[in-house]
Structures are given as C-alpha cells and as structure tokens.
Amino acid sequence: MMAFLFPGQGSQSPGMGKFLYDEFKIARETFEEASDAISINLKKLCFTESLETLSLTENTQPALLTVSTATSRVLTSQFGATANITAGHSIGEYASLVLGQVFSFKDAVRAVRVRGQAMQSAVPIGEGGMTATLGLDEAQVTFLCQWAVEGSGHSPLSPANFNCDGQIVISGNMETLNWLKTNFKPEVLPGEPTRAKLIPLQVSAPFHCEMMKPAEEKIQDFLSSILFKDSLIPIIQNVHAKNEQEASVLKTNIVKQVSAPVRWTQSMNNLKNQGQNIAIEVGHGTVLKGLLKKIDSEFFKVYSTNSVEDLKLIETLSRK
C-alpha cells in the first residue's frame, strides 16, 4: 500500500524528466502527447530551456504535469508500483486526477495550460505577491494577515499554502505585504514568543488567494466542457484535505482550488490517520519529501523518483 504524491510549483528545474525520456518509451510517448495537446515542445521546455522560461506559470504547470504523469506511468507499467490513494500539491492535484482516470491526460494538459495563463493574467505584475512565514502556527498567521490588512489599509492578505508546521505561505496585495515587511515584529503576535521570519517569494502572481477569482472563473468555464468520471482511487483534495472520488465533487473542488489555500499539512495528517506511511514523490525533486520530514519524520517513509535507481528501489517495495 503506497500513496502517490505529486509536487507543485517550485519543484521545477531544467533537465527534469530527461532520464525518463531517455530510458522509457512510455515516457517519450507522454511528452509527445502533451506537446501535441498544447502545441508546445515539452521536451525542449523541460530539458533545455532556461529556468526563467520554465518558471513562467503558464509553462511550469504543463511541464510539471507532464513529468509527473510520465513518472507515474513508468512506475505503474515498468516497475509494478500501485497507488491506493493520491494527493497533489496545488498543480500536482491534476496529476492525481489523471492517475485516478477522472479525465484524460490530454484534457489535463490543456486545462493546466489555461489555468497557468489565467492565473498569470488575473493580477497585473507587481500588484500581488507571496511571503513565506516561518515559525508561526495557523492562528498566528491568520492574526498576522488581519493585522497587516488593518494596518496598511489594503487587502486582501490570507494564508495560501499550509506546507508543514511552522511553514505557511501568505498571499495577497503587494502593498499589504510591503507594509508587513516594514512593520512586522514578533511581539505583535498572540501566544508564545516566537522566532518568526518572513521571507518574500519570487513569484509572478499572488496564488491561492481571492485575487485569483478571475482565474477561477476561466478554469471553471474551460472545465465545464470536459467529462469528469469518478476516480478509481481516493484523492485527498487541497481545498479541504479530505478523500474524494465522486466526479462532481472533484470538479467543484479543483475549480475552488485556484483561489483557496492549499491544505497540505492537513492532507498529510489525513494520510497519517489512515495509516498510509509509504509515500512516493512522483515527479521531479524532493520538495514534498522535505515537507513530510517536517510533518512527521518518524511515521512517513518517503521515496523519490529522480533516477532509475530510485525507481528500482520502489519496485522492491511493490514486491513486498
């Protein structure tokens, strides 16, 4: 029994997925399928483009989905790995939907291309941003956002990513974030004294907050034309950190996800409560592995998929 976990933005880097493309026919077919779906050379985008180009949201999202799906297909078809539950961080949730056969990979690639373009255009560059808060709990972060809105006279500002205990990203109006950067002192927070840190993130838009509502409307319009099916396995969805399989619920929640916070900590605690301690980070990098180590390093056993050796190790788990 293992969970397939799919990474989100921030995991990308040039060269990602190349070993899969070089070694496995099904991976090459996956890259070709994605390229045909959106008329973009995904091989070039993932392997040889600059990090700056790859990190443009409208490029990052289909690139990550392609690499994650290629990895998933190689794991299941070549190494005998089978997931009995899945979750994805933000854009990673689309790979979970593909794994559950909720909709086709082709439709998923088209959807995330639209999603990326819509999210990028929803807010003019420079009007919104994101900041990582370190060392704060959920109540303190909620207070901090309200305090900054009241103090700056600008809104919105709200929690966007609950990544792990002590690492919560906030998102919203850039003037509010700038005011917070200038005026924040740990003493303003309720509760126990803390060694809090605020780290502005280099992102192109304020993701997962109400400023993304225009993008949410666009993705809803696009997804209305796509047939959703019930998932073959439970998907822990970002918006509420609960298992879902029903098509209509999955569609509603994947739309809401654009402007709602990613409840990753809560999702992984759900996984823990179900006794799911074997987790595979299906895709490029080790970001999720790092987060799970912080959430509960003793419970979770997390395996990466960044080399053929990694995949062979997972194959031994599948045989047990």
Q: What is the mean pLDDT of residues 151-155?
A: 96
Strand order in the sheet with 157-164: 157-164, 167-173, 128-134, 197-200
Specify the pLDDT at position 91: 97
Regarding beta strands 243-244 and 235-236, do their DSSP bridges make them parallel or antiparallel, or are they unpaired? antiparallel
Beta bridge partners of 162: 168
Express each pLDDT in 52-94 by its tens digit.
999 889 999 999 999 999 999 999 999 999 999 999 999 999 9
Once rounded to an integer, what is the mean pLDDT over residues 233-253? Answer: 98
Global confidence as pTM: 0.95
The domain 128-203 having CATH identifier 3.30.70.250: the answer here is yes
The pLDDT tens digits for 192-226 are 657 889 999 988 889 999 999 999 999 999 999 99
Residues noted as catalytic: 90, 208
Confidence (pLDDT) at 320: 66
Which residues are registered as beta bridge partners of 95?
none
Rounded to whole angstroms, the Cα distance separating 237 from 2 reads: 17
Is the pLDDT at 184 greater than 90, yes or no? yes
In the chain, the amino acid numbered 34 is: A
Report whether pLDDT(273) > 80.
yes
What per-residue confidence (pLDDT) applies to 152?
A: 97
Dihedral sign from CA coordinates of 104, 230, 75, 289 = positive
Map out the domains of the chain as residue ranges.
2-122+211-318, 128-203
Residue-wise pLDDT for 113-128, tens only, equals: 999 999 999 999 889 9
The CA-atom distances, in angstroms, between 73 and each of 25, 234, 243 are 10, 18, 22
Rounded CA separation 61/57 (Å): 6
Taking the domain 2-122+211-318, which CATH number applies? 3.40.366.10
CA-CA distance, 210 to 160, in Å (whole number)?
Answer: 10
